[in-house]
Structure 1
Amino acid sequence: MTVRIYVGNLPEDVEKQELDTLFREAQEIQSLKLITNRKTNKCRGFGFITVKTEEEADSLVSRFNGQTFREQALKVEKALPRTKDTPETEEAPPASEPVAKPVKATAPVERPTPRRDAPNRNSQRQQNRRKSPAQTTATPVATGNHEATEPDPRWADALRQLKERLAMQTTGS
């Protein structure tokens, strides 16, 4: 039975021969596969080693995990089993190692503005949403007076200023 070992945190410019000599000094390995980018043909930062037995795998992991190689600490551990629908070149590193996912940049979608003279299909739904209590700006205060409300904190300052101006107009006239 063979055991696959994941080797991570490799530099981009690493050569397969360098890794082969590094690991073959320690013990006999059956194969070494360096995973590369198809376009640039540079290392994607990880590879796999195959050894014959579990004991050889355990000794290789204990010896090389955390060892510095080209100023980077190697991450060496037993590989997760391969899934049938994932080819080997697309195999991801073990779940314990975080992988950054690419983010797609998308352009904002322009929506056509509705015509004013055309009836809106969603107008009834929009009116119901406007009236829902979850979207009101005033919240009841827990006092004896059930009509007392507390203004929305986002508008409290503007409301206070408006009340002051109104009070000045009524007293000043």
Structure 2
Amino acid sequence: MSFKIYVGNLNYQTTEDTLRQLFEQYGEVESVKIITDRDSGFSKGFGFVEMASEEAGEAAISALNQHELEGRQLRVNKAHERRRSSFGGDRSRSSSYRYY
């Protein structure tokens, strides 16, 4: 079962490859996604990394929370599924995970 991690306070120039290389030090990385603005295509400064195991994910969180990457101090936490609101709004394009 995979373990999804929120990564915040990213430098806007950070790439998915850079994040993958950083997290691979702690175990198998299944996917990396930096969230971008749908209109401009520019990074929003956060993303998600999916690790192959909970142990690898917890190790990455412990090691990388507050770690400096490309001049920014990362916020790294376990991602939690976002609850759907019963009120309107199109959330089909937004991420289905959030962090605490």
TM-score by length of 1: 0.49
> 1:41: how far off?
1.0
Sort the Cα spacing of 1:54 and 1:35 in 2 relative to 1 into closer, same or farther, 3 A.
same
Matches within 5 A, 1:17-96: 17-84=17-84, 86-87=91-92, 89-91=94-96, 93-95=98-100
How many Å separate the matches in 1 of 2:96 and 2:10?
16
Sort the Cα spacing of 1:21 and 1:88 in 2 relative to 1 into closer, same or farther, 3 A.
farther
How many Å separate the matches in 1 of 2:58 and 2:81?
16
How many Å separate the matches in 1 of 2:99 and 2:84?
16
8 A Cα contact 2:79 2:99, kept in partner: yes
| Amino acid of the structure 1 residue aligned with 2:99 | P
> 1:47: how far off?
0.4
| Amino acid of the structure 2 residue aligned with 1:75 | R
8 A Cα contact 1:3 1:51, kept in partner: yes
- Deviations for 1:78-98, whole angstroms, at most 9, x for unmatched residues? 002233564463457424xxx
CA RMSD in angstroms comes to 2.1
Higher strand share: 2
| Amino acid of the structure 2 residue aligned with 1:65 | N
8 A Cα contact 2:81 2:96, kept in partner: no
8 A Cα contact 2:11 2:71, kept in partner: no
TM-score by length of 2: 0.80
8 A Cα contact 1:35 1:89, kept in partner: no
8 A Cα contact 2:82 2:97, kept in partner: no
| Structure 2 stretches lacking a partner, 5+ long | 86-90
**Identity %, equivalent residues:** 31
Sort the Cα spacing of 1:72 and 1:42 in 2 relative to 1 into closer, same or farther, 3 A.
same
- Deviations for 1:5-38, whole angstroms, at most 9, x for unmatched residues? 0000001222222212222233211111110011
Higher helix share: 1
